[in-house]
Structure 1
Amino acid sequence: MTKAKKKITVPSEVRRRVEALRSEIDRHRHAYHVLDSPVISDQAYDALVAELSELERRYPSLRRPDSPTEKVGAAPREGFVKVRHKYRQWSFDNVFDEEEFRAWAERLRRRAAKIGLSDFVPEYVCELKIDGLKVILRYERGRFKQAATRGDGRVGEDITANIAAVETIPKTLKKPADLIVVGEVWISKREFERINAQRRRAGEPLFANPRNTAAGSLRQLDPTVTAGRKLEAFFYEINEVVLPAGESRPQTQAATLRLLSALGLPVNTHWKLARTEEEVENFYRFWTDKHTGEAYQVDGVVIKLNRIDWQKALGWTAKAPRFAVAWKFPAEQATTVVEDIVLQLGRTGALTPVAHLRPVKIAGTVVSRASLHNKDEIARLDLRVGDTVIIEKAGDIIPDIVKVLPDLRPPGAKPFDFRRAAEKVCPGGIAREDVGGGKGVIYYCRDKNGYEVVREKLTYFASKKGLDIAGLSRCTIAKLMDASLIDDPADIFFLTEENLLSLEGFKEKAARNLLEAVRAAAAAPLEKFLTALGIRHIGEETALAVAAYLSEKFFSGFESFSPRDLVVAGELSLDDWSRIEGVGDKAARALREWFTAAENIRLLERFDEAGVRLFPLRSRSDTSLRGKTVVITGTFDAYTREELKEKIRSLGGKVSSTVGAKTDFLLVGRKPGGKLAKARSLGLKIIPEEEVEDFLSGE
């Protein structure tokens, strides 16, 4: 007797979420496909669709034939003559990582076995996924007759006159073939910028991206507008072909691309026949790093089964071919849900709001937090716990929330009460400072000696950016503070094995290891010591500049010196500090205040009493990067990020986390993210991983 399947109960909040997602996705589909005026990025849209698909998979009873997950494109736009396609037009299913690609390939094998393809050993054709407008062209005896958009897959818009105005699409083929061919019309990034500059001068709305510029240019009721824009195309699929006598229809996708090229149609040359999944993955990885250098936008790789008879045997789902898939490049944007907003206390007592997110993959990594910068940013976004948001990760830093999708907001979501949350973190009250420069107001704990502030200062002092004391974690620091064993950074160097063994959970080996790390940190480079002190506005780069100045002015003849000797820095005027290259007005005031404060002079004396020794920054024999700003992106096989930073600084260079007009070099490793595209757009010097060693050796 067959056991009945257990019915899955669908929670009411899931039903509400699914309906809200369908409504939101349909709204964005209309804006994208019909109005050519997207409200959100393709990547954010893909993320919404992926969430809906997953919910429909998990709760099959929620599936509907009119769901956006079952639709292709959108209905034709009013004003155009409608064209019913002779062959159904499809979109591709997406995969986003190696695991999903392998799962797709495995599904192919299982289905091939199920339908009896006993000799199934797949080869794949990998093609760049051009981000343009899909078009279907018909030729009769080699002459162009008709063109249409994809529309909803069954009915499209007649754009024959507009395609006739595109010079790069041949109106006569090199052979008298009857042909229905599918391709992508695109516009170059340079032409996109030219058109938008023209529209800006005319006071017209700007296009969002090259894809929508191409779509908007083709879907004009006046073909002369199309003719005035430099549209181009690549063709990649044959729906139907009748060739001159003696010539047969291609039997593989690779042969299809060669035939299209032989007929005189433009074909993207960056395709590859891959005989294994590993070769597909290598192609994908190569173009993940290189695609931003092309003249057109590319958002992934399309992978197709090479043999056309196997394509037909494997067939299609309701909206996509089973034999092909689009492997999207790592997204710089994604959508997720804000699960909480918490205030993070920094080394200087500053409060930074951080959004805790439902984990989501972005730019190749899973993230669960996003920076909110300050109270003003929360108000600007009108962000609430439970909101669906678009997050963006630019390079290697923590992502930002760029947009809230209010139509997906759950009922009863309340504005974030910043002051109440701040008072929980800072029992002694909060103070505010307008930092200027458009950065808004920063809030601080008023009590600089409060427990939470001291704990964060000590944690930073022992961190990798500070003196890198292995084993001295935030948790251990809290235990030491609770036991009244440490109260300031100098106390760390007075710790004994007996002190540590008195802490709950501390064994002899852990105690000895920590004390060994403390002893090693007691011999500190001046720049690391200055960074570790956590002086406001003094980060790693500024600390390096200050260390160079102090070393040359006061300690040039010293092998090492005592922290007590740094009291001489209290003699420097505000003007003296300001004259140090890389020290701004706020940093100069902070340094002046710190080195003249009585409690800090006493702290330096206690470091001396604990046996701490400092080493001046030696003048560099090689200053090949002096005055140059270097940005690092991606991961490197031969270096850690800290090793690269240290080497760049040793050559006199400055390391920055953001690409801008003042950047001189970008070092590029694997999975570089958005910094590479920005550097190329600015025409900056790019150093690939294989050239980094020569670059750092001055060659």
Structure 2
Amino acid sequence: MQKSNKNNKKRASFAESRRVQKLRNEIARLRDAYHIKNLPNITDDVYDSLTKELNILLQKYPEFNDPNAKELRVAGKPLDKFEKVKHEVKMFSIANVFSDEEFFAWEKRNLKLLGKDFPESSHEPGTGEFPRTWFMGGIEYFCELKFDGLAVSLIYENGEFIRGVTRGDGEVGEDITQNLKTIRSIPLELSPISLTRRGVGGEVNSIPDYIEVRGEVLMKKSVLKKLNELNEKEGKLPFANSRNAAAGSLRQLDPELAKQRSLDFFAYEIVQIKGNEWQKYIEKHFQKHELLHEFGFMVDKYAKKFSSSKDIPNFINKVLEIRENLPFGIDGVVINVDDTKTFENLGVTGKDPRGIIAFKYPAEKAATVVKDIKINVGRTGVLTPLAIFEPTSIAGSIISKATLHNMDQIGRLDLRIGDTVVIEKAGDVIPKVVEVLTRMRTGKEKKFKMVQKCPACGGKINKKITGNLGSSSLKGPRFPGAPNPSQTISHRTPQVPDKNLSVAYYCTNPKCSAKNERSLLHFVSVFGIYELGPKILRRFKDEGLITDAADIFTLSKEDIAPLERFGEKSAENIIKEIQLKKKIPLSKFLFALGILHVGEETARDLAMNFGSFKKITEAKIEEINEIENIGPAVSESVCVYFKDKNNLSFIKKLFDNGVIVESYKLSAISYKLSGLIFVLTGTLLQMSRELAKEKIISLGGKVTNSVSKSTSYVVVGEEAGSKLKDAQKLGIKIINEKDFLDMLY
């Protein structure tokens, strides 16, 4: 009788047992040397060959298998989908600057917000001459490379990596833990460090109970090149850039595919760490970098601390010189306010923290031929011309179209179909045409005429004057090709002073398919219904399940499950998410409606000032105009929207289908200034008017532009204006800055 295979299995010899242990130790050492200490003599080939030998021994002798062995980076089973995860701390974006002058203007704004003096005189770019007082008692900074990758958040509990999430929309991301575990430079366990040695206190070998680390997942340029060569051989499309390749790799449902892409991770921020003994060591941004490195993460070796802003432009230029030789793609330098408390005090504007800025490098340019000009219909009905050309490689991306903004832009450029043009792209900025090479014309070029009907629905088109395209208020030279935030035209094209009124073309058909499709996508995105992507929404419309966004909330599992490529589980997940998202904060609801000129910040201002949706719908233009930072165009747009019968009918349908709008509420501790209306005039010494406004609103109060009988207090700073006289005439209570601060604190 033949013995079972189990009884025939050979046991490992003592030498083989030792070999397994030595391989594990060496693989762990190499990982630390290569990914953490950046030692140049370690290669992937050596690492891979040792890992291969270990895997052979583990297959031969299963008794050595350890599912938690950190050196193996074993990929998990393929997933059906990625789960959505809400970030405990929001992942904000970073605002950009493109020149020394814009950087110093950013610093000047921050100094004013913090109540610090800033001299009126400024340095002469390129001369190295700076006012001495500029840098005395100013702000310390920490600068690091701006990697061109995918931002992720990592959670560790008791030193063990338990979850990794993409940025998503900043509030909700996708759980990609399985894929992140395949990246060698992400430690699966944190290395203990000695706080006693640092003089901070605590145990000799300490690991925090809980820590959240933020960083960037990257793909080396060399890896991208090999991947695209393989894609070409297999007849697949190449990745446009390393960021897209990294993002695409992490979104593979099969982690084995992600593992094959050889990704890397650089840590740059600690947003949460529990335990009082750790707080002293994260008071500065540079301290966080040191801590991350000791925990076992790769950090930017070029990162540097600066006692002032004076030498930062030189650092930026030095990084630019080595940019092409770096193994990873970068598109600039990130400048952080180093002191954590100062960073927090500066607060957030819109989606961007004020204490951090990205200095983007100059736009790259390329020449190409315009094959056609097509029209894109936006969610508000605006018709935007797009230049179509052969796929062109520029700024690390492959692009085939560029915005022309409007007909005025086409006229200023004298652009024609068939023209040879210069296009430029800087970082995430939308590609644009900046110059027409008229000397290359053959005479066969054709002038473009705006369509007479909407290309999507055939609806009527109206013209509308949209505003003045003035020149930038920021003086001084910029990097060649750097986009000017207040200009949509080429820097080579002269402007007509005070006559640059732009004419926009709108589709007037309220049932326009393209307009409604984009509005629908915007709506579900703001509501956070992530199960409903463009293809699914289009399918539901084609099947007659929905006609507008309100119909989404009437869908049932029985409606979806019978559809091809859907099933019980898929339908159940969609319905579950829709039901969970029926309740929405007032500010988000306003933004979701897609009211012309109402973005996220304006929606938030409206919500905070009026409190309830009903009050906003009943507000008069004059009342909305009273809100700081809101002008006549927004006020008129809001009032017009809520007078439209179709809009009111749509909103009623939403409410009938179960949508609940949460009124703007403050926590009990924040009712301090509830019901009080403030007007600010003059210069405040302890804080800027902008921060004062934010503080008032956060405590339940309101801030208006002008004095009226309903005003509770007029806060008077130095060199107060006419608002002080208005307050005296109306008998409104006037308080100085000290009294105001006493009210706040």
TM-score (norm 1): 0.41
Q: Which has the larger radius of gyration?
A: 1
